[in-house]
Structure 1
Amino acid sequence: APTCKHTGLKPFSCEKCDKSFATRYQLTRHELSHSGEKPHKCTTEGCSEAFVTKASMKNHMARVHQHQEKQYRCDHKGCKKDFNKRYQLNAHKGEHQQILPFHCTFKGCTREFPSRGKLKHHEKVHAGYPCDDEACPFLGKTWTEYQKHRKEHKVKLLCGECKKQFNNAWFLRQHSLNVHSGERKMLLCPRQGCGKKFTRRFNLESHVLGDHEGKKPFSCVYAGCGKSFAMKE
């Protein structure tokens, strides 16, 4: 189809007349004029007009209905609100008459509403992030609020030696090995003939890269220092 725009070719011919078109879509749209089919109906209540193309339908709505006066006016004293649809007017009248047929089904909520739309809007208030603990009634409105609350439920693990608290058994175990075991787990440099040992993998990797491979791409930010490092901590 893009080449047809440049060459002027119109390979799609109508079997009912002598017209031809550059694209199959244009041909299909044209063929509706022969069949009498008008699939695009005006969506304005009370209007029975229908059109071959959506563009024609939109033009009709803009030309005929856009500035059309709203048909349904509230007759309640002092109100005079206008509506396009009868059901909109009826829902609005319920507000004056205090007829609220739509009830919130959320446990503990007694709110009532004149229309389903207003009820659905209200129900969003109840949506959120409930606490995983079944005995806890907390409902976070945001993920951040929920995460902050979850910290209250975390069991603190106490170090038997120094009473330091940890959120995770792994951190407690590492702390015990490195601080209280008396003999720390040492990491030996794998370079033959080196023999250096380290308590942290970061220090070992930094040593191998910097001392054995001469890679120190990270410079100290302080003016006049001149030191450089293999890794950035």
Structure 2
Amino acid sequence: MGERLKHPNKHFICSFAECKATFSKLWKLEAHYCRHTGLKPFACGDCEKSFCTRYQLTRHHLRHSGDKPYLCSVSGCSDAFSTPGNLRNHVAHVHHQKESYYVCNHQGCGKEFHKKKQLKFHICEHTNELPFECDFEGCDDKFASSKALKRHWKMHEGYPCDEEYCNVKGKTWSEYQKHKKTSHRVTLPCDQCKKMFHNAWFLQKHKKSVHSGERRMFKCIREGCEKSYTTNFNLQNHILVFHEGKHDFACPFAGCGKAFAMEESLKRHFVVHKPQKTKLQKPKVKQHGVAMAFSSVSKWGHA
């Protein structure tokens, strides 16, 4: 941290390069330096929080002690508060009935905010100036608040694998999950047959439906219909086709003409036309009718 400079008009000026922030009080300048250094030297002895200035720490201690030295001066009100800021908010909202009192003075805007910090973040939208810049090598991202920057830092910290003797670190949560599934995938064998599962829920369902002798049945609730199915999917398909007459998912292949009540059924049907296709494009249904619109029909070999 550079040497503190004092302006002739008694304003305290930030000494970091390219930073033009100025303050009327020294403790505010010290608090500002935390944004550059990330250090919070004043730690609370009663919890894990730490602060940039002794003033902030002293104010925080009031929450632990329960002291509320700031009394409301409005006649007939006995409320008391631990900080002057909370007292001001109380008077403004309760006694003056002010909904918002920080107004954006940018030309043509006029938006109002409950907190000064909210207004400060909003102004960044007009000026396109984001004061909090990520200092990670190769990253130039900037943010309107220190909290947003702190959340962004977690992306660079990554997600280290928790498996023993594995030093892989995923850059993102998705990358970490993919690593776990491919490199440390759990295999759960059924103790009554040779089948293997990668998920405890599927193993439990398998045991219940195959080895317990009890098979769950999904019965149609339509009056007079006695149909029942072993899966909820088949029951849903039955209701849509036989009771509601729906065939909203039509096959787009020329000369086929088949239509289905459920999208999954259409996806399974595609194997008839393209057995080699393992990843199928998701069809889009028009709002009124059964015609299907595909973003790229040419992938199926049809114009």
Same fold flag (TM > 0.5): no
Query: What's the TM-score bracket when you normalise by the shorter of the two chains?
Result: 0.3 to 0.5
TM-score by length of 1: 0.42
Bigger RCO of structures 1 and 2 (CA < 8 A, at least 6 apart): 1
